[in-house]
Structure 1
């Protein structure tokens, strides 16, 4: 399929052991609910202030784009402990399945791919948050997890054993004047 391969001198058993994920997340993450929308909106907009190219989200935007919808968008939130729990961290990914053609299509008809969407970490580092997203995607039945090197993601992808893709992402911004941005300057993920 081209998503992964065995490295030189690596057996299938070695690859399975190397890339195996834990069964459960380290922290308790729950699907986003209506009551979380305002806090997620505030967390996301505060986080996006770091980036040169970004969207400013309204609560309606977050409700539309980040509400948990099985087989479409998956957003999970972590709450603080105590009497009045607050959303402290969240991650999201969306589903983009692909039909398998040619060799292997008799055994597997579809590859279920999760694509990293918006995430904010305040009580853990971004590496740990993406690790939690990987585990959650696996538990939701996804085969592959893709992640762009935008925002702070690029700092941790190698440590999380992601392979580098072979494509280039270009944003077409209509008639907006925008200087060239490095991936770490971009806080906009198109769906």
Structure 2
């Protein structure tokens, strides 16, 4: 990437230093090259280990189930781990040891959660859900089975016309999941 930008900068320098009279075509080419350089400067290529998430799913639990839910998801999905957990202390507005803030990875995606001391007028909504593209039917059925255990199936596994096999479930913690077979 740096080589491409360097070459384009050199090309622009040569063109701008050239005493040859520029015609409209040269001006257009120069502007196109400058546009290309500007686009490349905005492009940031990251190695997978350097990717930082700017958007993460944050799950606020009002029933003190943050840790149970986090452990359930990390065990259920491949490529998952708990990254960091901060707990409420003894003088907190909630039971000591409950999760103040936790960060975890589900299949390579950043999630966060907490046990909320105040009880809000809202809870999880199926209108916002986690959408999972499953590699094969076995993965789809296993995830659907585990996520629907003690939960609520809103759309059973089926062919709905937009997918060969799709299901939607709200798990036992109230979190909504759409599962789709690629």
Using structure 2 for the length normalisation, give the TM-score.
0.21
Identify the structure with bigger relative contact order (alpha carbons < 8 Å, sequence gap 6+): 1
Bigger helix fraction: 2
Using structure 1 for the length normalisation, give the TM-score.
0.21
Bigger strand fraction: 2
- Which of the pair has more CA radius of gyration? 2
